[in-house]
Structure 1
Amino acid sequence: MKIEIKKIILLMLSIVLVLSFTGCSGKAVTKQTDSKSTNEKKVIIAGTSVLFEAPLRAAQKDFENLSGYKLEIKVFDDAVVTDMALAEGSIDVNFYQHEPYLNAFNKSKGTNLVRYGKKVLASDYGLYSDKIKSLDELKDGFKMSIPNDASNRGIALKFLQKTGFIKLKEGVAFPTLIDIIENKRNIKFVEMDRLSLVNSLCDVDVSAMPSIYMFQAGKDPKTAIISGYNSDELGIIIVLREDKKDVEWAKYLEKALTNENSRKFIEEKYKGAVVPLF
C-alpha cells in the first residue's frame, strides 16, 4: 500500500514538472515572437552635413507621411565619417555628396555605396575673394585656396581650366596639382579641407569653392568674381549601401526631396546659391 502511494506521488510530481517546463517553453516562444514584432524597423536614420541638413529636414514630414516610417537625421562634420557610417550600417542612407565624391570614396575605401534616384540640387561654383573685386586686380603668382580631397580638388581644377587659368592633362578623372601642364599665371595653390575655404579668404587672394559654402558662412554667394561651372557633377544625391539599393522606403525619400514643396523650399531659402535639379 505504501509503495502504491509513493508511486502515485512520484507520478503527480512528474506531471507537475512536465507542465511547468511546458509553461516556461510556451512563455519563451511567446516572448520571442513579441520581441521579433516589436523590433521591426520603423525608423530610418539619415546622415547629412550642415550644408544640406536644411533641405533634408524640409522633406522630413512628406517622407514620413508617404512612407509610414520615422526619419531620424544625424548631422556629421566629417564627410569620410558620414560615408563610413553608411558602409558599416549605423545609418541607413546619406544625403550630402555629389557623385564624383562618392566614386572617389568607393575607390579609396573599397566600399560599395551607390547613388539612388535623381540628382536633387546643386550649387553654383566660383572664385571668391575678400581682397579684390575683379580679375584685373590679380597679379601673377597670386595665392589660391582649393579643396584637398580628390573629388572636390578635381572639380576646382576643372573649373580653373574652363575659365582659362590652367591646363590639365587629358583623361584624368580626379586631377591633382601634378596634372597641371600649364600655369601661366604662376598660381600658388593652397590645399585645405573644403569647409575651411571660406575662413581662408583672409589669408589668400582668391578661393575656388561652391557657392553654398559662402551662403552657409553668412556671406553673399553672388559676390563671386567669376562663376558658372555648369556641370551636373555638383548634383547632390541620395546614397545607399549596394545591398540595400532596392529598399521600398528609398523611393519615398526621393519623392519627398524632389516634390514641389522641396522645390519651393530650395528656391526660397538659397535664393539662387543652390538650385533644384528636378
Structure 2
Amino acid sequence: MKFKKILFASIMSGVLLLGGCGTKSADKTSTSSKEVTIKIMASVTPHTEILEHIKPVLKKEGINLQIISSDEQANESVRDKIVDANYDQHLPYLRSVAKEIHFDYSVLCAVDVEPIGFYSKKIKSIDELKNEAKILITNDPSNEYRMLVLLQSKGLIKLKDGISDFKATPKDIVDNPKNLKFIEVDPGLLTRNLPEVDGAIINTNRVLEAGIDPKTALFREDAKSPYANLVVVRKVDEKRPELQKLKAALLTDDVRKFINEKYGVAVVPVF
C-alpha cells in the first residue's frame, strides 16, 4: 500500500512537471507571435483610404497598422521617430526638403500618381481662356514647377531652358501669349479660391477632399507623370520585416483593383 502511494506521488509529480513545461512553451509561443505596430502618417484622400484597405491583410500577418491622417511635418515625424513611415509625397518634393531638414530617408515603394489638372468654374474648355486670365497655382516649389510644365505642354506658356531640380516660378516664363496672370497661394487654398479666378491647377488629393469631380478637369497630366506618391521610411529601417510586409501588402493586384474602381482617372496605380 505504501509502495502504491509513493508510485502515485511520483506520477503526479511528473504530470505537474510536464504541465509546467507545457505552460512555459505556450507562453514562449504567445510572446513570439506578439502583434507589431506600424505607425504611418498619410494624407486623408486617397492615401489613408488605401491604407485602411490593407489593414485586415496586415492584421493577419500580426501587424497593427496605425494610421495618422495628416500631412503636417510628415518627413520630420519620420526622422524624429514619431512615426515609422509616411505616404503623402512625390520624389521631387521629398528631395527638395530632405537636405534642409537632414532627413536620411529611403523610399520603401511607389504606389500611385494623382494627376494634377486644370479646373475652372467659369469656362468649359481651354479655348475659352481669355487674355490676362487669372490662374491659381501653388507656392510649393516642386509642385509649382509641375503645374507650369503642364501649362507648357498645352502651349499656354514656355519656360526658359535649363531649369533644374524641379524648381520654377512664373519669373521663369519666357513666352506667355495670353499674358496669363498667375496667383501663387498655399496648396490648401486652391480649391477654396477657385470660384474667384478663371482657373486653377490643383492636385487630385485636394480635389477629392473638396468634393470636386476629377473628371471635370479641362486637362490633366497623363499616367506617365514622374510624380508618383511614395511610402517613405528612415534609411536604417528599410529592411525591417514589418515594413517589408507593408510594402508587399500595398503592391498587389487587389490594391490596384481597389484604386482603379474607387478613384477612376483621379488616382493611377504605378506598380
Cα RMSD (Å): 2.0
Taking structure 1 as the reference length, the TM-score comes to 0.79
Q: Does 2:214 match 1:221?
A: yes
Separation in 2, partners of 1:243, 1:115? 12
Q: Is the 8 A contact 1:214 1:220 kept in 2?
A: yes
Separation in 1, partners of 2:253, 2:122? 40
Larger radius of gyration: 1
Q: Measure how far apart 1:109 and its partner are.
A: 2.4
Separation in 2, partners of 1:188, 1:239? 36
Match of 1:127 among 84, 108, 118: 118
Counterpart of 2:58, as a letter, is F
Q: Measure how far apart 1:171 and its partner are.
A: 2.9
Counterpart in the other structure of 2:41:
47
Counterpart in the other structure of 2:51:
56
Q: Does 2:200 match 1:201?
A: no
Separation in 1, partners of 2:100, 2:139? 14
Count residues with an aligned counterpart: 237
Q: Does 2:177 match 1:184?
A: yes
Separation in 2, partners of 1:125, 1:232? 9
Alpha carbons of 1:191 and 1:41: their partners in 2 closer, same or farther (altered >3 Å)? farther
Separation in 1, partners of 2:71, 2:53? 20
Match of 1:115 among 99, 104, 107: 107
Separation in 1, partners of 2:260, 2:125? 28
Counterpart in the other structure of 1:269:
262
Counterpart of 1:94, as a letter, is N
Counterpart of 1:44, as a letter, is I
Counterpart in the other structure of 1:75:
69
Separation in 1, partners of 2:242, 2:71? 26
Counterpart in the other structure of 1:7:
none
Counterpart of 2:264, as a letter, is K
Q: Is the 8 A contact 2:75 2:103 kept in 1?
A: no
CA deviation string 1:192-245 (max 9, x = no partner): 122321112111111112334322221211111122344332211110112222
Deviates more, 1:86-95 or 1:193-202: 193-202
DSSP-derived class of the 1:232 partner: coil
Q: Does 2:127 match 1:136?
A: yes
Q: Measure how far apart 1:175 and its partner are.
A: 1.5
CA deviation string 1:155-201 (max 9, x = no partner): 11111111211111223221122222222221111111223211121
Identity of aligned residues (%): 34
DSSP-derived class of the 1:130 partner: coil
Match of 1:84 among 57, 76, 91: 76
Q: Measure how far apart 1:75 and its partner are.
A: 1.1
Separation in 2, partners of 1:88, 1:43? 17
Separation in 1, partners of 2:254, 2:135? 38
DSSP-derived class of the 1:165 partner: coil
Taking structure 2 as the reference length, the TM-score comes to 0.81
Contiguous gaps of at least 5 residues in structure 2: 1-30
Q: Does 2:105 match 1:149?
A: no
Q: Is the 8 A contact 1:212 1:221 kept in 2?
A: no
DSSP-derived class of the 2:83 partner: coil
